[in-house]
Amino acid sequence: MKVHDLKPAPGSHQRRRRVGRGIAGKGGKTAGRGTKGQRARDTVKPGFEGGQLPLSQRVPKLKGFKNPFRVEYHVVNLDTLDKVEEDVVTPESLRQRGLVHKTGLVKVLGRGELHRPLQVSAHAFSASAERSITAAGGTVTVIPPPFGHGRPPARGNALTNR
């Protein structure tokens, strides 16, 4: 059996009713539209919702959406960590040096190389950064996020007025 051999089962497909072909028969005269009124006269715009603000106007104009559960990290690369004189690197020590923002989670990325062992603590590490730190003889400590291991609490204007 091939695709061109497929057809509906016998009796499963009915021909569509042709309305408005004279006054005799089921679909004659008003053709199932009733008498008078907006819908009888073919004047309803597509998307008209009876005066309610149409869906096309209710949705945002630009495509996409802003994920309220997005987790954003402030990133630090290995070449930056290599310039730090300390052997123990934490998000607080990076903040004191002005290498990351004063709030938020810190992620270490793998650009550059480490030439000495470091004890690095951060909220997240890329796989290449973790490999490079351990290859240099250092240790990696993952700090759990402040919101637990589920998704972070949602943010946004819609949630402030509850």
* CATH number for position 118: 3.100.10.10
pLDDT at residue 22, as a whole number: 86
Give the count of domains, the chain. Answer: 1
**How far, in Å, are 11, 60, 68, 69, 100 from residue 158 at the CA level?**
52, 14, 10, 13, 30
The kind and range of the H/E element at 124 are strand 124-125
- Lay out the sheet containing 88-89: strands in order across: 88-89, 119-122, 139-142
**pLDDT tens by residue, 94-128:** 999 999 999 889 999 999 999 999 999 999 999 99
In a domain, 107, yes or no: yes
Residue 120 domain boundaries: 73-142
**pLDDT tens by residue, 59-78:** 888 777 777 788 899 999 99
